[in-house]
A and B are shown apart, each in its own frame.
Chain A
């Protein structure tokens, strides 16, 4: 039954996704949602879009469109960097967790040896005397 549904769904996909092409502002908002959700800093683009929205409210459509395009271009550049950003973010997280997780084994191995070394070093001038 499910095998019959899959081709039907595949046929429907172009129709389901053939909504109105998003304009520049909507595309910029979608990218802001995507990139900030991944942890990228989009504060500058948010400021640009808020400035554009203020200009739209004042009826300055041309200037507003320019700002939206500027923000959109920057967001598209950031989107191109997203795979490498997520790779390095995840790698850095993995390295930090590995470093912390390696502390207990390192402590188990090194602490008795360091303690013994310091113990003997602190007593190296001691003289052993046999008590009769």
Chain B
């Protein structure tokens, strides 16, 4: 025999395993879809203001990332809450939005949007809540993704 049977069997095994891997990589896989939201400061860093002067513009950035497996439209709502009065994974915050932004994102794309808020009044631990809503099956639905920032709202100059 020119070609040894055992050598041929090993070669066949290598070919079969390689083809099985190639087929597994060819078949499109449905990855787990998700969308993400994040808050950044004015410079786009995760270093947030703790004290905000009432009436003075508060500049932030909001980051949205789409991995839903398709292009999707998103709305970011900014609402005001307080300590203990923030959204959860199923229910948005029950208060009127003070700012919103609508954007359509391709799959696996993201955007950082500048936000300028004018807050008035006074209070400690005011929660600035950013909620992410998505256009899904012909209606806007809360994605369960949110983030919040606690600030002290003062009338005077901040004490450091």
Contact = CB atoms under 8 A, between A and B. Distances in A.
Given A43-B106, A46-B105, A53-B102, A33 B72 contact: yes
B107 A30 contact: no
Contacts of A32: 71-73, 104
Interface residues of B, number: 28
Interface stretch (A8-16, A77-85, A107-115): A107-115
Nearest to A41: B106
B71 A36 contact: yes
B28 interface: yes
Contacts of A70: none
A119 B1 CA distance: 11
Nearest to B17: A104
Interface string B70-106: 1111000000000000000000000000000011111
19 contacts: A29-B73, A30-B138, A32-B72, A33-B70, A33-B73, A33-B135, A33-B136, A36-B107, A46-B71, A46-B104, A50-B103, A50-B104, A93-B26, A93-B27, A100-B26, A107-B12, A111-B8, A112-B3, A116-B2
Interface string B9-36: 0011001100100110011100000000
Contacts of B73: 29, 32-33, 49
Contacts of A96: 26
Interface of A: 22, 26, 29-30, 32-33, 36-37, 42-43, 46, 49-50, 53, 93, 96-97, 100-101, 103-104, 107-108, 111-112, 115-116, 119
A29 B12 contact: no
Contacts of A111: 3, 8, 11
A36 B107 CA distance: 8
B26 A103 contact: no
Contacts of A50: 103-104
B107 to A, nearest CB: 6
Nearest to A107: B15
B123 interface: no
A100 B19 CA distance: 6
Contacts of B16: 104
Contacts of A93: 26-28
Contacts of A33: 70-73, 135-137
Given A36-B106, A115-B2, A100 B22 contact: yes
A25 to B, nearest CB: 9
Nearest to B107: A36
B69 interface: yes
